[in-house]
Structure 1
Amino acid sequence: MSESKTHSASTETGAWSTSGYFMLILMIVMVGLTAMRVIGFASGSPSEDEVPGFIATIAALPVAIVFIASGFYMIQPNQAAAINLFGSYRGTDRNHGLRWVWPWMTKTKISVRANNVVSEKLKVNDLRGNPIEIACNVVWRVADTAQALFDVDDYKAFVFVQIESAVRSIGSRYPYDDIEHHEVTLRGHHDQINDELRTELNARLVLAGITVDECGLTHLAYAPEIAGAMLRRQQAEAVISARKKLVEGAVSMVEMALNQLSEKNVVELDDERRAAMVSNLMVVLCGERDAQPVVNAGTLYQ
């Protein structure tokens, strides 16, 4: 039976390279020497012994010039170049400016600048099964050039796919909203959701040598097919919650009024009068309109 091979992660290392400006000066000197030799040979009458030396010099200097010219490459700020030798990774050069390396080395440039991506609006079912639309903004950059180039086929496409997967995972992990404020929700806990999204993205993108500096939800809404129904539900829940608070406050105020009346002996109330007072106070405190006072000239029993 053949054994399955595990994935071997690449690791960025420094590459050998030198300043291209020194090699540029050396090449210019060689060009000048070649020109001087040609001019000197053309203007004089060299002997037969000098001809072989001249031919060797004229043949060697252009080869050396071409050799040096083939090793130049330039790196912009926040850019790197992976150096390979016949398919073998030899390191990454992060020194910007004009650089030079052996001509038989191949150079693959890669940007290490920050990239900003706004994902498409995705339709996801939240924790309660409600369809919602969700999108996010992600700021990412290449942290390990060797992993980005050699461990995934296309690291940019890999980033887009993993962003979509992470957003779907976070969207289905929490409810959209909770009127009781007992649960962590997508709408009410932005900082916590954004931190968790960033942590999950970093865990998913570490394979490609990508790090996420910042991310956050940019769009969050119920899907159009249930938006109207959920709006009415939210309105109903808000009314119920407001009524509940209103009743709790009214009961507390009625209880306080009855206790103070009894403690200060303002009036003696039997059960029937107490019930009538409670009813009147609850109507006054819980009514949506201002109460209209009615003067009772008789008694409760008339």
Structure 2
Amino acid sequence: MQEKDMFKLNGLIGVVLFLIFVAVAAIGIWQFDVNENISLLVIGILCALLAALILTGFTIIQPNQAKVITLFGRYLGVIKHEGFYFTVHLAVRRTVSLRVINFNSEKLKVNDLEGNPVEIAAVVVYKVFDSAKAVFDVEDYKEFVHTQSETGLRHIASQYPYDNMNNDYEISLRQHSDEVGHELTKDLQKRLELAGVEIIEARIMHLAYASEIASAMLQRQQAKAVLAARKVIVDGAVTMVKSAIDQLKEEGIVELDEEKKAQMVNNLMVAIVSDKGSQPVMNTGTIY
């Protein structure tokens, strides 16, 4: 089902026709009372019925709103431009909002690419671009959007790991929210095009490990952070020790054999790397 423009006239034309038929009906009935001419009564009744029929042809379209019109089960067209119109009589008009709609999904528990249970939720921003599809191709387009959004979110969440701790993957849910949101938007657009819905944006608004593994994963993250910090400290300590020994050697302050140099390196490394205060004893050999 595709959108097509519906035949319509300015509503004022319908108002003029309505007033004309009302006036003719009133005159015919009044003249019947005076002259008792049955033909005038018939004309008056017919004009009154036509005036009532004209009333069913008026419709008002609000901004960012569409009316899908059917007559006796047959789809006639859509009116999308705001205003007051006069169109087909006795038609059924279904209103569809063309405004941007914001939808927050429920928190879902899914397994990521590595099988870890995570809680995830998304915000989806969409609008209807084809009101005929939204009315006729699905039972309830809003319910369809909600269901397909949850399905798409589950699908995307299962394609990526929660966190890329070991640099085994290019994209992770936590570290690449923009890329994941872009993929989610594309996935939802394919699913919802059937309903005449355009996805403007889809982004993850909640992401966390499931409660049963949250504590263990927190410890894992803390351990990773500690190891990263230790590596920085050790790299810096090695640079400092090397600089200190080279400077002592160049300036001839002390003379160290290999054994004493190893002991000095050990003491300096302990002093720099240790979390607690240390008092190393350094044997510098013979001083000149």
- Asked whether the two chains share a fold, i.e. TM above 0.5, the reply is yes
8 Å Cα contact 1:179-1:238 kept in structure 2: no
Go from structure 1 to structure 2 and tell me whether the alpha carbon gap of 1:218 and 1:111 turns closer, same or farther (over 3 Å shift).
Answer: same
- Taking the aligned partners of 1:19 and 1:93, their CA distance within structure 2 comes to 12
* 1:121 matched residue in structure 2: 107
8 Å Cα contact 2:29-2:41 kept in structure 1: no
- Taking the aligned partners of 1:233 and 1:145, their CA distance within structure 2 comes to 50
Gaps of 5+ in 2: none
Equivalent residues in 2 for 1:217-256, closer than 5 Å: 217-256=204-243
Go from structure 1 to structure 2 and tell me whether the alpha carbon gap of 1:86 and 1:34 turns closer, same or farther (over 3 Å shift).
Answer: closer
Give the drift of 1:233. Answer: 1.4
Equivalent residues in 2 for 1:274-285, closer than 5 Å: 274-285=261-272
Deviations 1:54-79 (CA, angstroms, capped at 9, x unpaired): 23421321121022112122222221
- What value does the CA root-mean-square deviation take over the aligned residues? 2.4
Give the drift of 1:215. Answer: 2.1
8 Å Cα contact 2:70-2:93 kept in structure 1: yes
Look up the equivalent residue of 1:248 and give its one-letter code: D
Deviations 1:147-183 (CA, angstroms, capped at 9, x unpaired): 1122222222211111111111121111112335664
Equivalent residues in 2 for 1:1-302, closer than 5 Å: 10-42=1-33, 44=34, 46=35, 51-180=37-166, 183-292=170-279, 294=281, 299=285
8 Å Cα contact 1:135-1:219 kept in structure 2: yes
8 Å Cα contact 2:67-2:93 kept in structure 1: yes
* 1:6 matched residue in structure 2: none
Deviations 1:119-155 (CA, angstroms, capped at 9, x unpaired): 1111111111110000111111111112112222222
Deviations 1:187-245 (CA, angstroms, capped at 9, x unpaired): 12222222221121112111111111122212111111111111111111111121122
Look up the equivalent residue of 2:201 and give its one-letter code: E
8 Å Cα contact 1:17-1:101 kept in structure 2: yes
Deviations 1:252-271 (CA, angstroms, capped at 9, x unpaired): 22233333444444443321
Identity %: 44
Q: Secondary structure at the match of 1:173?
A: coil
8 Å Cα contact 2:192-2:198 kept in structure 1: yes
Go from structure 1 to structure 2 and tell me whether the alpha carbon gap of 1:204 and 1:260 turns closer, same or farther (over 3 Å shift).
Answer: farther
- Taking the aligned partners of 1:175 and 1:114, their CA distance within structure 2 comes to 32
Go from structure 1 to structure 2 and tell me whether the alpha carbon gap of 1:281 and 1:295 turns closer, same or farther (over 3 Å shift).
Answer: closer
For normalisation by structure 1, the TM-score amounts to 0.85
How many positions carry a matched residue from both structures? 285
- Taking the aligned partners of 1:238 and 1:208, their CA distance within structure 2 comes to 47
Gaps of 5+ in 1: 1-9
For normalisation by structure 2, the TM-score amounts to 0.89
Deviations 1:3-56 (CA, angstroms, capped at 9, x unpaired): xxxxxxx221211112223212321232233224434554x5x3x8xx255234
**Deviation beyond 4 Å, 4+ runs, structure 1:** 263-266, 293-296
- Taking the aligned partners of 1:115 and 1:263, their CA distance within structure 2 comes to 73
Deviations 1:271-291 (CA, angstroms, capped at 9, x unpaired): 112211211221122111234
- Taking the aligned partners of 1:121 and 1:209, their CA distance within structure 2 comes to 26
Look up the equivalent residue of 2:127 and give its one-letter code: R
